Amino acid sequence: MRRARVCLLFLCTTLLFSCGRRSPAKPNVVILLVDDLGWTDLGSYGSTFYETPNADRLASEGVKFTQFYSAGTNCSPTRASIMTGVSPARLGITNWIGGRQKQKLLPAENTEQLPAEEQTLGEIFSDAGYMTGYIGKWHLGDTLSFPEHHGFQFNLATNRGGTPGAYFYPYKNERRPDLNIPDLEDGTEGEHLTDRLTTEAVNFLRDHRDQPFLLMLGYYTVHSPIVAKEEQIERYREKASRLPALDGPEFEDEKSGTLNKLRQDHPTYAGMVESMDESVGRIDKALSELGLSENTIVVFLSDNGGLSTLAGGRTWMPTSNLPLRAGKAWLYEGGIRIPFFVRWPGKIAPGVVEEELGISTDLLPTLLDMTGVGLHPHQHVDGESLWPVISEHVSLDRETLFWHFPHYSGSGAIPGAAIRKGRDKLIWWFEDNTVELYDLKNDLGERNSLVDEYPKLAASLKQELEERLKEAAARMPSPNPDWKE
């Protein structure tokens, strides 16, 4: 049974529109959120192995950011920041919901659902007369904290976990029922989840084309399990066989016994990326056929960096984020720098933003600015509107971003926090209270720490980071009394 809720305000607004008193059309919004897609996983961001013509075309038709970040190092924190415009540290959601690993430190307490008191995209746009829909991965709490409890009038195919039970129909996992995908029981043998979610999204667009809408499509792909269609796997397997031999090793050592993948060559992952890209093309085609393209803002982004590292000597990681260091869950650039672009035909000129910094907390104020909805009176926002950057190429009066990950991860990431100020970035590791300092303009791969050369700069950035964490009431890890070296 599909979960759908239409509020009284929306019904009243629809009646007014049908009586011919509709004000100038409000712009629609479609947000395409891809899970675990790395910064270099698109052709337009540098990949030469994965094939993404549809996403690349959208990026070329819109404004593409090259220095855009996820507010969290993994999914739930970033998704919460997108929904609320509030930093993960302030929300208390700093790890994926359900993650509870401990080692030398006991991880900080992690809020296990999106706080009900926060005003979300769904609530704000619903109050503004929009039809709001959410399809796919949510991972911001159990059933009582699903999208319909946070303002979305329509919700479909949201499970209780953060990954699908299976990528092919019937999308179930007998051992993990929390990963089963609901609402799609009428599927057919061989049906692929990414394709089906896109079909449902196209149905939503068709059903609500005569009214302003906000649709967020949260793809489960390219998150594990790494599964693709056989014909895609075979084609990319052949493509991988033609790659030149590596000059060096396939993996490199990262901190804490972690290995980092050095080349994009995984045939199955490439198939997952291709399925995602085909779906992007289908969404774009539907908007065009329905006559909605010019009045629809399309946003494309990921929730964190690609999975390129794994702990414990494991080597099944599917992608590489080079030239960035490390990947998902890490505070290095590979874990937090993500693809992000916005298209609005006729309203914004295509271009590339190379110098301006953006972060996922910026999405909510940006969309409120672009659509004219305006900030909710009770909404606290840590992000800033990027609309001046997108529309007028005006620089923001902002040069500092920060991240907080007081947890451990299966990708090998360890507890820490980071701050970027201009070209400089400092990472503070909590286990041993050490810091690393990088000049990202000259060292994008974060290979040469400059702490010894610039101790005063490192001390200043660490102090500023501590102040930001304190102001956000960030929760910190604590010593593990049972830990033995």
- DSSP string computed for 29-53: EEEEEETT--TTSSGGGT-SSS--H
Whether the ω angle into residue 249 lies within 30 degrees of 0, i.e. cis, is: no
- Residue whose structure tokens are 């984020």: 321
Backbone angles phi, psi at 4, to 5 degrees: -145, 135
State residue 24's pLDDT score: 54
Amino acid letter, residue 310: L
CA distance linking residue 362 with residue 384, whole number of Å: 5
Give the CA distances from residue 151 to residues 148, 262, 281, 358, in Å, rounded to whole numbers and listed in that order: 6, 42, 28, 26
Alpha-carbon distance of 320 to 335, in angstroms, equals 11
Structural domain boundaries in the chain = 25-396
Q: What is the pLDDT tens value at each position of the chain, 485 positions in all? A: 333 333 333 333 333 333 333 345 899 999 999 999 999 999 999 999 999 999 999 999 999 999 999 999 999 999 999 999 999 999 999 999 999 999 999 999 999 999 999 999 999 999 999 999 999 999 999 999 999 999 999 999 999 998 999 999 999 999 999 999 999 999 999 999 999 999 999 999 999 999 999 999 999 999 999 999 999 999 999 999 999 999 999 999 998 889 999 999 999 999 999 999 999 999 999 999 999 999 999 999 999 999 999 999 999 999 999 999 999 999 999 999 999 999 999 999 999 999 999 999 999 999 999 999 988 777 888 999 999 999 998 899 888 999 999 999 999 999 999 999 999 999 999 999 999 999 999 999 999 999 999 999 999 999 999 999 999 999 999 999 999 87
Contact (CB, 8 A) for 338 and 70: yes
User: Is the Cβ–Cβ distance between 98 and 107 less than 8 Å?
Assistant: no
Determine the Cα–Cα distance for residues 73 and 81; give it in Å rounded to an integer: 12
CB–CB of 269/318 below 8 Å?
Answer: yes
The residue among 116, 283, 144, 307 whose CA lies nearest residue 216 is 283
Task: Please provide the size of the chain in residues.
Answer: 485
Contact indicator for 407, 414 with CB cutoff of 8 Å: no
Residues 6 or more apart from 349 whose CB is under 8 A from it?
A: 63
Using CA atoms, how far apart are residues 456 and 442, in angstroms rounded to an integer?
19
pLDDT of residue 381: 87
User: Taking a C-beta distance cutoff of 8 angstroms, is the pair 308, 260 a contact?
Assistant: yes
Tell me the whole-structure pTM to 2 decimals.
0.94
CA atoms in the 13 A half-sphere facing the CB of 406: 19
Tell me the pairing of strands 131-136 and 154-156. parallel
End-to-end CA distance of the chain: 52
Question: Which ranges of 75-229 would DSSP assign to H, the alpha helix?
Answer: 75-84, 88-91, 121-127, 193-207
CATH 3.40.720.10, domain 25-396, yes or no:
yes
Return the number of other C-beta atoms located less than 10 Å from residue 112's C-beta: 16
Which tokens is 135 given? 């399809």
Q: Which two tokens stand for residue 399?
A: 């040069």
Which of 183, 30, 162 lies closest to 99 in space, CA to CA? 162
- 262 vs 190: CA distance, rounded Å: 33
